[in-house]
Structure 1
Amino acid sequence: MGIDYQQDSTTLRTDVLIVGSGPIGAIYARKLVEAGYKVLMVDAGAQESEIPGEHKKNIADVSLNDFSSIIQNDLTPLSSTMPAASATLAIGGMSTHWTCVTPIPHPTLEAPKLFTQSKWNSLISEAQDLLHTTSTTFDTSTRQDNLKNFLNASGHSFKSTPLACQKSENGEIIYSSTSSILSPILSSKNFTLLPNHLCPKIYKQDQKITSASLTSLSTNTHFSVVAEQYILAAGAVLTPQIIYNSNMSQTLPALGRYLTERMVTFCQIKLDKKFSGNAGEVNIMEGVSEGKKWVTVINREAHQYGQLPEDLDCGDVLDVRCMSAVEPDVENRVEFGEKGSDGMPMPSFKVSPSNADLKVAAKMMLEMQSLATSLGSFVTEPKIMPLGTALHLSGTTRAGESVETSVVDSNSKVWGVDNLYLGGCGVIAEGMACQPTLTAVGYALQGVEGVKAALSA
């Protein structure tokens, strides 16, 4: 097991404690267990599948409408101040139902500035391998090819969407999630996973975390965890919540600040007859470029929104979705106040897109409408979705070069603390339009190297 304990002891000991079982926590766990270290992973959520953190598309054969309902039920709103912002409290987190879209950030407009280009390329390449990212999932689709050719002939640069998935021998798509990342170590004696265990607080003395408190939500029993290294990967809101609850925010002025999120425009179309005869699924995207700081994805996918009427023939219906970034601003933030029923300080958001952000969103909306009308007729009217809809909150524990403007360094180690690392989209400092998971994995892989170096020392 990844823990040492004695009968009736209230103290667990391990090499590394990881709080959070999403794909980023799973990356840390896998790499550290493979390096020979004992890892204890805890999560406040339940284990909802036989294999921990399985993607629900791999085990639920339902319609897109029904899967959208599954996503809705899995989401827990974080605050009434941004109702669309939510978390998934379960083993696997968001990876149990995410779209698996894993694009490489634009090298100059989105990629982290903390790494050399060669270093970042190496991290991203390894991240793609671990998530099984491929751009060939629907390459046999004549409809996808025809749509790409049609759009690119008018000056666009649509490509097949990179997706974290594999195809089985019978052609079935197997979507990546926490389960696929952890699968090589699930039977290791050096790995222990505890669902339904909340980590409300960590304890710091001088420049070192000395222990973490743990509460079993099933039995209401309390433990103390003593580790050499601690990794918080509980999400862009719940990670800073733990740090705030641990009375560490006074020495981390950037904690919770520089919050970024994607602005989303969305509509659904019924394809024109000239495309309706083509067979196959469609999943294509166009990334950011100079003068166009948004991404466009055309597919038919389940989200917590976008359900279609049951009596509608969905065969020729596609979603058209664009996303641009709310750029980093010190005043855009999550704050924590009075404690809720779980004993944790409740978050509230203060986020206001700048005039520049809104101008980009307006241009994005116009292009989405133009694209949609070139392909077919509207099934649902174009709309700007509420902020937080993308579920891509970032920046709240951002990486940087100083404690004044960031929370962690380039290794994702918290400033002024020798053995505390953070993981997840919260460490992403840039205002990215593209989906952030692959980038967060890249940061985590660099963080793993820092943790391993500290452990070996």
Structure 2
Amino acid sequence: MTTRAADVVIVGSGPTGSTYARIIRRDWPEARILMVEAGPKTTPEIGKHLDNLPDADRTEAQLRAQGPKRGVTYAPITREEWEARKAGKHDASLQRRPGLFFANTDTPDETAFAGFAAASVGGMGVQWTSGCPHPSKSERVPFIDEAEMEAALQLADELLGSNKNPFPGCKGSEEMRRRLGEVFNPGRPDDRKVQPMPLAYTVTEEGVITHGTDHILGEMVNEPEEMFRILPETACRRVLHENGTATGVELVSMTSGESWQVRAGTVVVAADSLHGPQLLYGSGIRPEALGRTINDHYLINRFFITDIEGPLTSMSWIPRVDNEDFPFSVTIHGNDPAKFPFPEQVEGTLVGMGLFVAADPRPENRIIFDDETLDWKGLPSFSIHAPINEVDEKRIEMGKAVAEKIATTLGRPLDGFATVRIPTGNSLHYQGTMRMGEADDGTSVCDRHSRVWGFENLHVAGNGIIPTVTATNPTPFIVALASMGARKIAEARRTVTEAAA
């Protein structure tokens, strides 16, 4: 059956697209919702997280999620690359990530902004690391009421299934947080003190269940197709629009090449921070700020040895605070040296650290579209121009110093391993490309309800709409913002009939 009309068409099946579907269904039970996904369904259950699969099945699912690189097994890390990473130099293997593909046309080298993406039902929501921290006050949207934002974040926790302390009673991790608290807690508000990292986990006697987009969609996955349908391996080539109204979408089957149009009352573009702007651009919707202010959290890694007895099951988190003294979000967790790609001599309890550094959003850092060269979906290909500036460099060096301080607070740095900045793009937190604004003044793409300026029924979603300087994992933040946009769509109840299609 070819769907020709829907009240709401959602392009993208990741966490924000799934949130739009779930909240619209909650507030508008009669809505007919069509979700479009360029990649295949890779798991037996819709939106199941790949970490819940047996190893062989997970590998197969990752290979199928690689878009234009579908089925390609990337070359494993070499000893030379591993030694370069240990020395704090460029490790090219970090630009070959199973389950993802390099979406931009830039040569993957030391200077590149790596624009990774996934293409499968569930998107990054079936591969994410499940961290659910809340943004600090300054990271939140300043023109959204504080109480409204807090309520939306609580809803995001419910949708994601956030567990504030998934491993209570982990004595080693509690001791780690006690020591870190002595150094970093003074002067911090209670909600920004050292704490367990909230994770989208259900812990059972058999092990951990990591939540994917199945947790967001809930019972919607069992609805009849005339009410909710996901079209896998179907790309959206164009958002159709006329006189400031989105009228539908033009779709193409990635298997047969057949194309058709679907009329829609509302269109939601939830196709990630790179492909969302790409679709708008390819549709002739080109606000001045589209694709600009792209930024990603710079990621600093450090391994160290602690005298704290394991197991260190619980992940610890040092949150970002609202001043320039600590523009970082830090995760710390026990590590298994057996998972290193090559044998290393490790004596003691190994700990890994990921320190996320806030980047400086600048309009000149942007996606550059190429109308002459099309990508695997038939849309304009793109490159990314986002060099590091002096503000970034200063924060990165501060971050490295903080990483060393944390390592010496808890133990000693692992011999033979430097404090290293991972290649730009590896945090997968690309932001700013469809940024939200308070006024239609050319510096933003959408309003506080995520509606594209000049449209009443075209919404955008994902990390790209974040307009602030952040260091915190953005997933709960963008799910919260998506829930606000979804409520607006449900209030409007714009329908389209099959006859009109």
- How far off is 1:315 after superposition? 8.4
Identity of aligned pairs, percent?
25
- 2:122 and 2:213 in contact (8 A); partners too: yes
1:296 aligned onto 2:307: no
Residue 301 to residue 131, structure 1, CA distance change in 2 (3 Å) = farther
User: For residues 196-345 of structure 1, what are the structure 2 equivalents within 5 Å?
Assistant: 196-249=233-286, 252-269=287-304, 271-272=305-306, 274-275=307-308, 277-289=309-321, 290=323, 291-300=325-334, 307-309=340-342, 316-337=349-370, 338-342=372-376, 343-345=378-380
Shift of 1:267: 1.8
User: Residue deviations 1:115-158, cap 9 Å, x none?
Assistant: 11111111111111111112211222111011111222234442
**Within-5 A mapping of 1:133-152:** 133-152=162-181
Q: Is the 8 A contact 1:135 1:161 kept in 2?
A: yes
Higher strand share: 1
8 Å contact 1:65–1:308 — kept in the other structure? no
Q: 1:47 aligns with which of 29, 41, 45?
A: 41
Q: Paired residue for 2:23, among 27, 31, 39? A: 31
Question: Please, which of 425, 429, 443 is the counterpart of residue 392 of structure 1?
Answer: 429
Q: 1:13 to 1:324 in 2, by over 3 A?
A: same
- Residue 214 of structure 2 corresponds to residue 179 of structure 1: yes
Q: How many residues align?
A: 438
For residue 151 of structure 2, what is the aligned residue in structure 1? 122
CA contact 2:105–2:381 (8 Å) conserved in 1: no
| Contact 2:241–2:247 under 8 Å retained in 1 | yes
Partner of 2:203: 167
Tell me which residue corresponds to 1:73.
98
Residue pair 2:375, 2:381 contacting (<8 A) in 1 also? no
1:205 and 1:96, CA in 2 relative to 1: closer, same or farther beyond 3 A? same
1:65 to 1:301, Cα distance in 2 relative to 1, 3 A? farther
Counterpart position of 2:473: 435
Flag structure 2 segments of 5+ consecutive residues without an equivalent: 63-72, 75-95, 107-111, 186-192, 496-501
Distance 1:242 1:65, change over 3 A: closer
Q: Secondary structure at the match of 1:135?
A: coil
User: How many Å separate the matches in 1 of 2:7 and 2:211?
Assistant: 27
Answer whether contact 1:233 1:423 (CA < 8 A) is retained.
yes
Q: CA deviation at 1:262?
A: 0.4
Supply the AA of the counterpart residue of 2:255.
S
Post-superposition shift, 1:232? 0.5
Q: Secondary structure at the match of 2:159?
A: helix
Inter-partner Cα distance in structure 1 for 2:184 and 2:18: 40
Q: Is residue 261–residue 394 contact of structure 1 (8 Å, CA) maintained in 2?
A: yes
Code of the aligned partner of 1:377: P
* Helix, strand or coil at the partner of 2:330: strand
Aligned to 2:443: 405
Does the 8 A contact of 1:29 with 1:182 survive in 2?
yes
Structure-2 change in CA distance of 1:38 and 1:314 (3 Å): farther
Give the residue type in structure 1 aligned to 2:293.
Y
Tell whether the 8 Å contact from 2:247 to 2:266 is kept in structure 1 after alignment.
no
Q: Deviations over 1:85-126 (max 9, x none)?
A: 20011111112121111111111x211112111111111111
The CA distance in 2 between the partners of 1:126 and 1:315, in whole Å, is 41
Between the aligned partners of 2:60 and 2:340, the Cα distance in structure 1 is 8
Mean Cα displacement is larger for which, 114-123 or 147-156?
147-156
Which moved further from structure 2: 401-410 or 37-46?
401-410
- TM normalised by structure 2 equals 0.82
* C-alpha contact (below 8 Å) 1:260/1:431 kept by paired residues: no
1:32 and 1:452 in contact (8 A); partners too = yes
Q: Decide which of 353, 361, 377 is 2:413's aligned counterpart.
A: 377
Does the alignment pair 1:418 with 2:468?
A: no
RMSD, aligned α-carbons: 2.5
TM-score for both structures, normalised by structure 1: 0.90
Residue of 81, 90, 101 corresponding to 2:131 = 101
| Distance in 2 between residues matched to 1:407 and 1:301, nearest whole Å | 41
Return the alpha-carbon distance in structure 1 between the equivalents of residues 439 and 368 of structure 2: 21
Q: Counterpart of 1:352 in structure 2: which amino acid?
A: P
Name structure 1 gaps, 5 residues minimum.
none
Judged with a 3 Å threshold, the aligned counterparts in structure 2 of structure 1 residues 312 and 113 are, in CA distance, closer, same or farther, namely same
Equivalent AA in structure 1 for residue 148 of structure 2? K
Distance, in Å, in 1 between the alignment partners of 2:128 and 2:3 is 35
Assess if the C-alpha contact under 8 Å between 1:11 and 1:223 holds in 2: no
* Counterpart AA for 1:282: S
CA distance in 2, matches of 1:41, 1:315: 49
Q: For the Cα contact (< 8 Å) 1:298–1:318, is it kept in 2?
A: yes
